[in-house]
Structure 1
Amino acid sequence: MFVLGIEAATPVAAVAVVRGEKVLAERMVNNQRTHSVNLLPMIKAVMEDAGVTRQDLGGIAVSSGPGSFTGLRIGMATAKTLAQVWGLPIVGISTLEALAYPLTGQEGLICPILNARRDEVYAAVYRTVAGKLERLEGPMAIRPEELARRLESRDLPVTLLGDGVPVYGEFFLKQLGGRVLLAPGSASWPRGAPVAELGYRRLVAGEGMDPLKLLPDYIRLSEAEVKWLQKQKG
């Protein structure tokens, strides 16, 4: 089965095509152009690179959050529209799981963190069990101090990765000491290939759905919604 994976929940736009668990083609950009400009040309190019047409695809996988509200809306809208027009099932993949997935097998805890602004990170805690990634906590929007306390209570080494590392990495090193490993910058962004591969697994398991039923997982309210609620309370 060929699966198209789309990632747009962070400042990076990433697209990939897999056949089963084999990556055939992948593209990623981290530039100043919006995802609405980048995604469609990237999808067209990556399908050409993989040598597949829309008739070959068995489904579409898309990053469903958490992440940038605008990026999520663009990515979800693009994926859902294509799935509806092409008559394909769709699956949503957690942005945090897509980040953690390539580190399956890493000793100890795997903790992807995304900079959520407002002195918070989006985070989840994973561990490899019997060769598979198992989620222990999250996804959640949480203050770094509280996340550090939760990680410390588990008393295991932890690998941090994601775009929250350049912002909060030093803080976690001070709080958790030698138990923390900071993944390199190349692991800071979720890629299209893990989204597509995870999507393939879920499509094979029968978890594909009608694109109209797929919803983003924002985790918390947007700033505009928070202000609106405050105004209503006032």
Structure 2
Amino acid sequence: MKILALDSSGLVASVAIMEDDNLVAEYTMNYKKTHSQTLLPMLDELKKAVQLDLESIDAIAVAAGPGSFTGLRIGSATAKGLGLALNKPLIGIPTTEALAYNLYGTDEDTLICPIMDARRNQVYTGLYCFQKGQLQTVKEQDALPVDTLLEELNQMGKKVIFLGDGVPVFREKIQEMCQVPYLFAPGHVSRQRAGAVAALGAIYYGQGKTESAREHQPDYLRVSQAERERAERLKKSQDA
């Protein structure tokens, strides 16, 4: 089984190819370029480097959200375009679940808490743990104030590992509010990786959790800033 994976849900752009349990190649970039500039060229470089025939893949796994609205749209459009052209199924992987999978093998009593900066003092997050080698969802991914998340973690009373691009943004807040033992994941596993998307994609594929390219839609979790501002303008005009 061969999975092509894409992740452009955050600041990182990442592409990977996994065949059975072997990560054949992974190209990840966290630099000052937009995903529209990087994602397809990265895929092309990877394809050339490993002499990949795209017709040989079984499915395309893509980080389906939450995350950057623009990044998710670019990843979704790329995956959908490839899926339609190649007639291959898509596998939508929750972004925070893929982040948590970076920390495979974490002890069973530890919570994994991915946090992505969602602006306005909010984070995209979820809570996960590993039980007998299987990733378990403790709290479904959501968008909520970081203070609310930290209060929930304090009430749960378990050790926590934080990772994601929200860590540098909210590090001081975590240090101030978190009353349970915690760690920050090291840099090599603290951001999105298409390798994790591919590994989860293989599991999802085996469980029959696929969709057609036409069916796939990103999971934004909340409306965009532009949509919020439009709604506010409409409300003001109606109140006037």
Given the two structures, how large is their TM-score scaled by the length of structure 1?
0.96
* Worse-matched range after superposition: 131-140 or 110-119: 131-140
- For the residues of structure 1 that align with 2:213 and 2:170, how far apart are their CA atoms? 36
Deviation, 1:178, is 5.5
Equivalent in the alignment of 2:103? 103
Q: Which runs of 5 or more residues in structure 1 are unaligned?
A: none
Whichever residue aligns with residue 136 of structure 1, its letter is V
- Residues 128-162 of structure 1 show CA distances to partners (whole Å, capped at 9, x for unaligned) of 11211111113111111100011111111000001
* Structure 1 vs Structure 2 CA RMSD: 1.2
- Aligned counterparts of 2:145 and 2:102: Cα–Cα separation in 1: 25
Q: Give the match's secondary structure for 2:79.
A: helix
What SS does the corresponding residue of 1:206 show, helix, strand or coil? coil
* 1:156 counterpart = 2:158: yes
Q: Which amino acid aligns with 1:55?
A: E
In the alignment, the residues of structure 2 paired with residue 130 and residue 45 of structure 1 have an alpha-carbon distance, to the nearest angstrom, of 37
Contact 1:172–1:180 (Cα < 8 Å) also in 2: no
Letter in 2 for 1:20: D
Identify the residue that residue 140 of structure 1 maps to in structure 2: 142
SS of equivalent residue, structure 1 residue 225: helix
Choose from 127, 137, 141 the match for 1:125: 127
Partner secondary structure for residue 60 of structure 1:
strand
- Asked if the contact 2:154–2:180 (Cα under 8 Å) also holds between the matched residues in 1, the reply is no
User: How many residue pairs get matched?
Assistant: 234
Q: Deviations along 1:35-94, whole A, 9 cap, x unmatched?
A: 111111111221233332112100100111111000100010001100110110101111
Find 1:195's aligned residue among 191, 194, 197: 197
**Please, which runs of 5 or more residues in structure 2 have no aligned partner?**
none
Q: Does 1:60 align with 2:60?
A: yes
Aligned to 1:9: 9
SS in 1 for 2:220: coil
1:173 deviates by 2.2
Task: Say which of 210, 213, 216 aligns to 2:212.
Answer: 210
Secondary structure, aligned partner of 1:55: helix
Distance 1:111 1:178 in 2: 13
Matched residues in 1 for 2:132 and 2:190: separation? 26
Q: Secondary structure at the match of 2:210?
A: coil
Task: Give the residue type in structure 2 aligned to 1:104.
Answer: Y
Contact 1:125 1:138 in 2 (8 A): yes
Which position in structure 2 is the counterpart of 1:39?
Answer: 39
TM-score of the two chains, using structure 2 as the length reference: 0.94
Distance 1:84 1:204 in 2: 21
**Secondary structure, aligned partner of 1:211:** coil
Tell me what 1:73 maps to: 73
Contact 1:18 1:197 in 2 (8 A): yes
1:26 and 2:1 aligned: no
CA contact (8 A) 1:6 1:61 kept: yes
Amino acid in the other structure paired with 1:174? E
SS at match of 1:213: coil
**Contact persistence 2:5–2:60 (CA under 8 A):** yes
45-54 or 214-223, larger mean C-alpha shift: 45-54
User: After TM superposition, which residue ranges in structure 1, 4 or more long, deviate above 4 angstroms?
Assistant: none
Aligned to 1:176: 178
Distance in 2, Cα, partners of 1:117 & 1:219: 13
Q: For the residues of structure 2 that align with 1:13 and 1:32, how far apart are their CA atoms?
A: 11
CA apart distance, 1:177: 4.2
Q: Secondary structure at the match of 1:117?
A: coil
For residue 226 of structure 1, what is the amino acid of its counterpart?
R
